Amino acid sequence: MPRSAAARPSLPLGSLTQRDARTASSCFDCSSPRVTSLSMNLTDGTPVDFTSCRVCGHKSWSHEGVELTVSDVIERTRKVS
């Protein structure tokens, strides 16, 4: 898989079981720190952070700290034929 010229630096992996290894991520909706977060690149190459809240169930994608709408994410993941 080709790497993007603007690849983000690797971040240390967090842990759901080791409190000291958790990152400072929080839910966009309820601000709970009990979230699962993943960094990924969408089909168009946009780097995003996906966050799923274990408290309220809110799921979000953000790019450079700005939350994307589901419509934005779907548009950016469409394959160009």
pLDDT for 54: 93
- Count the neighbouring beta carbons within 10 Å of the beta carbon of residue 32: 14
**Domain boundaries of the chain, sorted by first residue:** 26-75
**0.75 exceeded by the pTM?**
no
Confidence (pLDDT) at 25: 78
**Each residue of 18-69: pLDDT tens digit?**
555 555 678 888 999 999 888 999 999 999 999 999 999 999 999 998 999 9
Q: Exposed, middle or buried: residue 6 (CB in 10 Å: 0-12, 13-18, 19+)?
A: exposed
